[in-house]
Structure 1
Amino acid sequence: MTAENSILNKNGVPSFVTDYIDSYKNNNIVLNTERIKLIKLLEKSIFKRVESGDLYFDEEHISKCIKFAEKWYFPLQPFQKFIISFIFLFHSHNNRSYYKEFLIMMGRGGGKNGLISVISHYLISELHGIENYNGSVVANSEEQAKTSFEEIYDSINAATTLQRAFYKTKLEIKSNGTNSKFKFHTANPKTKDGGRQGFVIFDEIHAYESSDLVNVYTSGMGKKKDSRKFYIGTDGYVRDGYLDNMKRIANNILDGEHPDSKMFVFICKLDDEKEVADQKNWEKANPMFSQPMSEYAEILFEEIQEEYMKFNYDGTSRAEFMTKRMNLPEEDLEKIVATWEDIMKTNRPMPLLNNRTAVVGVDYANTVDFAAIGFLFRVDNNYIWHSHQFARRGFLDKVSLGPPIEEWEKEGHLTIVDTPTIAPELMVEWIQKECRRLNLRVHKVMIDRFRYDITRPAFQGAGIELEPLNYMKSVHAQISPRVEMIFNNHQVIWGDNPLMRWNTNNTAVKIGKDGNKEFIKKDPVRRKTDGFHAFLHALYRSDEVLQKDINKSLDMMDAMLG
């Protein structure tokens, strides 16, 4: 480009970047905290390195990518041009791309899929010019995985020029000039091979319960020049999963804790749930709503206004609106055991458990997948839960649960058994082992009547009496107020136990016509709740443990006083 039509300012920064930042500083657009932090980070580090000559923006690629998008797709918004600029930021000493990863999160309808379609199409094209720069888009569902693929397919189909430049089938799009291919994949990490990718897009990252899928598709990366990973999505309801970890990393990067990080973080969300009342704040979550709005944005804004009007009448609608439209996760408090924040408060140091009395809770609802057992103690008005679970290998091989079960086994939270069923003797042995190790006293062992008959022989054979819980709906109704109270007051402690957190977050609260609450599974197969139900069984008799320890202390004082 000539100096007259250069998009770079005198310091080497593209106008698409400086104009966007100036719009914020001149109060023409409203940004959330994460984007404000991004601007400060760029000004403190990246721009200075560009000015010094250490880094440079490739204005030719930036300009060509934007022109390509606006010719064959749609007019780009300022925030989209801002993001594209950083895809083509390079090291001066070796001309390799600076940012290797891009985390792009915003409210539903913010145009992230359209942007990623444009970027993908350009990266495989002759305009980008890298041979065999293959790309993939990965998502949990085929419908979502095909979103960008089909958008590129339709764009090629609509233009003779693009038809000459690209070969397409329903499964693959290939550039005739670079031999670069673009495909879509759905999520089953056990059956995929990452191959040698130039770039990978991970869509719907809110649904990833572990890093397994990402690891598969990135294992072959780094062998291709300027390889890049894109993570896009809106927040969701899976907690303690891949996205929560990514957000922790992203916030640390924005706070300047990792100055050499090669991840570009662009997160759009409300800063606080109270901000939703002022519709001017909605552009914090959806940058499409910055003024002046496009026709698409105006139509979307009206649709969201209608959703907002309805959400105050329905808790489920509110949770969905806040999570998906405002990118600020919120849970329907009438349908969950506890908020994620309250569940995380269980992660506190366990007190010494030696020489204590406990109620034991057992959940043995299904002998072929999971079983759970634990000791419940009352210590200083807290409910201390020391537990273990068993999972059957055959079930884990057949059903992809998502979370890192094998990793949790290494951490000691469960045992995976390679047997046709989970034998009740395993739970008996675990009780005996822990009683010997900690010199524990068992007050009672509580179990659902449903599995009482098949577990009783093993326990009685070891001299341990089981007490069956009859009419579980009635039991749940009786203890639900206590469950709500002890989680809200942060009286539950089970240490750093991701398996128990997962179990609890997988549990839904069903409110009957009589107003009574019942604890059920959110998903009957994949969202296991065994550990939480074992906790509930023990909780039913937890007051008796407190009284037993009080009586023991009184007896001891009487003995000392003679």
Structure 2
Amino acid sequence: MELQELIEKYPDSNLMAYIKACKSGEITIGKELMLQLDLIMDDFNNEDITVDFSDADKRIRFIEKECKHSEAPHAGKPFILELFQKAFVEAIYAFKIYDEEVGRLVRKYNEILFLVSRKNGKTPLISALCLAEFFSGDLGTKILCSSNDYDQADLAFQAIDAMREQSKKLEKCTRKNIKGIYFGNPRHVKKKGKFSYANKGNIRKISAKTGAKEGKNIRVGMSDEIHEMKDDAAVMPIRQALSTQDDPIYFELTTEGFVNDGYLDHRLHDARMVLKGELDRPRWLIWLYTQDSETEVWQDKESWVKSNPGIGIIKKKSFLAGMIDEAKTNMQTRAFVLSKDFNLKQNNSNAAFSPELYTCSETFDPSVLQGCMAIGGVDLAMSIDLASARLMVMRPNDRKKYFIQQYFIPEDKLSAKDDGKDYKEWSRQGLITVSPGAANDFDKITDWFVNTVNQYSLRVFKIGYDDALAKYWLKSMSEIFDDVDQVCMTRIAQKREVLSAPFSLLESDLRNKLIVTNNNPIDEWCLSNLAIDMDKRGLILPCKAGGKAEKKIDGAATIINCEAVYLQNSSEFNAYVNS
């Protein structure tokens, strides 16, 4: 049957109403969700599938009648489902197939992947569905809330418990302890029946770090924020625990994340193959709220609803607009917003900076820096690789940061063509110092610092270094640059907590044209290869674009080391600069 015929056949169906609105353009959705809706249209027309809305209606009524929100600004208010939420619930429960092994009709969809941007109510919705299953499902229904860590698993569990506590009817026949939620209440004892101690169903929580995940027997499983999982170690025991049930249900709910080649990446790869008809997983419901492109995020505010179905109702449009404005000028914010607010995966295959940011044609005569204050940075490489050293010099009453730099390479590496670059030509231009043999001679790096400082009478404030390979070199540099009053050599730990802020400062300085590399082509190459690896806290670790070894970032690393020293000592350093 065509869409209009189905609408007439199921006039009270929220799912049909949603499909009609999406098909007509009244509701805007992405191409991936539209593919799933097309598959659902096939379900409606499949003679082997029974369409029955009674289970869905039962759960919708339960949620709207018994469940209340527990968090501001809706705390204490009834959980009234929006059309997109009701359509989702009906898609899960309305389609039944005959299971010969069980000998009766069961739900067609027993696995659900629900991808939606943050703050669109995904955890409360699935938590409410789990609570509905606990009361509306079979006797002895056991439910397990899981996530990559215990705190996240506890969020779903606490959401379920908060809704249970706010309903007098639900609270009256259940109890909670440190292990979970159970039927039977010592204050209101029922001797028999579904809501008595005789019902051994329960709701419990577990994380990827919890031991003894094997051997459980559950009917409903819920894995929250699966984007944080590196592999399937946390979810497979839960999926296996469903294997004894006649009509199990397994929810995976998440936003996009930052783990590269992780569990979610593999699940989405398979899911997209299913949606395109390239992989047969008929019992998997794939409900993806995604954008069709990154471009539309910047150019079309009306497209934001594709990944944010609750925008204007659950999630504030003004908040999202503010985040977009900030993301336009901040790479760290941009990566986080695109991933978490628009479900656009951000990974280290993408360069951090656009060419207009890292291309710097401004030149200067280093002699104009005579007597100025400098911060040093170094990135060492012992074997056949590139090393970088630089001085970041600032002049009085001038915000610009002027760089004098030198690169170092072993002779055995000189003929290599990393990323098509010609190290021999750069060495002929004096941009690279060559060490005999297969390893960099760190004494040459020391000599460069000494000679450059003396040539321009620079005052060295501090020199930032990564302590990898630095033990011998640090000793020789300390003997030259440290004195009794000041420790000049400063370790810059190469971890997110240390490098995130300097990276953001570098981006800001590039955007404001404050970085002057004297048109150094190796600096520009290194900056073009710079990417970021972001974690769930929004902290970043600079890395090579695509993880490719030939894409060198040593020069960018030394700039960031200089920025790190500057951030840690900006007041003192600026006082010296202007003294």
CA displacement at 1:317 relative to structure 2: 1.6
Gap change, CA 1:450 and 1:207, over 3 Å in 2? closer
- Residue 69 of structure 1: which of 53, 58, 63 is its match? 63
- Residue 111 of structure 2: which of 101, 106, 115 is its match? 101
Counterpart residue number, 2:159: 151
- The aligned amino acid for 1:285 is S
Contact 2:530–2:553 (CA under 8 A) maintained in structure 1: no
- The aligned amino acid for 2:43 is I
In the alignment, the residues of structure 2 paired with residue 57 and residue 174 of structure 1 have an alpha-carbon distance, to the nearest angstrom, of 33
CA displacement at 1:159 relative to structure 2: 2.3
- Residue 87 of structure 1: which of 64, 74, 92 is its match? 92
Gap change, CA 1:209 and 1:311, over 3 Å in 2? same
Task: Give the CA RMSD over aligned residues.
Answer: 4.4
- Residue 559 of structure 2: which of 499, 516, 524 is its match? 516
1:222 counterpart = 2:232: no
Counterpart residue number, 2:407: none
Counterpart residue number, 1:351: none
What pairs up with 1:492-511 in 2 under 5 angstroms? none
In the alignment, the residues of structure 1 paired with residue 555 and residue 224 of structure 2 have an alpha-carbon distance, to the nearest angstrom, of 34
CA displacement at 1:230 relative to structure 2: 0.9
CA displacement at 1:146 relative to structure 2: 1.6
In the alignment, the residues of structure 1 paired with residue 24 and residue 207 of structure 2 have an alpha-carbon distance, to the nearest angstrom, of 43
1:118 counterpart = 2:128: yes
Gap change, CA 1:160 and 1:172, over 3 Å in 2? same
- Residue 48 of structure 1: which of 20, 45, 48 is its match? 45
What pairs up with 1:176-255 in 2 under 5 angstroms? 176=184, 177=194, 178-188=199-209, 191-193=212-214, 195-255=216-276
CA displacement at 1:302 relative to structure 2: 2.5
CA displacement at 1:453 relative to structure 2: 8.7
Task: Report which stretch shifted further, 130-139 or 239-248.
Answer: 130-139
Aligned-pair identity in percent equals: 20
- The aligned amino acid for 1:153 is D
SS in 2 for 1:201: strand
Counterpart residue number, 2:321: 305
- Residue 169 of structure 1: which of 170, 177, 180 is its match? 177
SS in 1 for 2:114: strand
Counterpart residue number, 2:393: none
Gap change, CA 1:191 and 1:451, over 3 Å in 2? farther
Counterpart residue number, 2:17: 19
- The aligned amino acid for 1:219 is Q
Any stretches of 5+ residues in structure 2 without a counterpart? Answer: 1-5, 68-78, 185-193, 355-382, 387-411, 422-435, 443-466, 473-488, 493-516, 532-543, 564-579
Counterpart residue number, 1:287: 309
Contact 1:138–1:184 (CA under 8 A) maintained in structure 2: yes
What pairs up with 1:132-531 in 2 under 5 angstroms? 132-176=140-184, 177=194, 178-188=199-209, 191-193=212-214, 195-276=216-297, 277-289=299-311, 293-294=312-313, 296-297=314-315, 300-330=316-346, 360=384, 444=438, 451=469, 481-483=524-526, 516-517=559-560
- How big is each residue's C-alpha offset from its partner over 1:396-441, in whole Å with a ceiling of 9 and x where there is no partner? xxxxxxxxxxxxxxxxxxxxxxxxxxxxxxxxxxxxxxxxxxxxxx
SS in 2 for 1:516: helix
In the alignment, the residues of structure 2 paired with residue 270 and residue 39 of structure 1 have an alpha-carbon distance, to the nearest angstrom, of 16
Q: How many residues align?
A: 388
- The aligned amino acid for 1:315 is M
Contact 1:270–1:285 (CA under 8 A) maintained in structure 2: yes
- How big is each residue's C-alpha offset from its partner over 1:133-177, in whole Å with a ceiling of 9 and x where there is no partner? 211111123332122211221222222211223222243112342
Counterpart residue number, 2:52: 58
- The aligned amino acid for 1:516 is I
Counterpart residue number, 2:460: none
- The aligned amino acid for 1:247 is L
- The aligned amino acid for 1:48 is N
Contact 1:14–1:85 (CA under 8 A) maintained in structure 2: no
Contact 2:529–2:545 (CA under 8 A) maintained in structure 1: no
TM-score, with length taken from structure 2 = 0.58
CA displacement at 1:271 relative to structure 2: 1.3
Larger Rg: 2
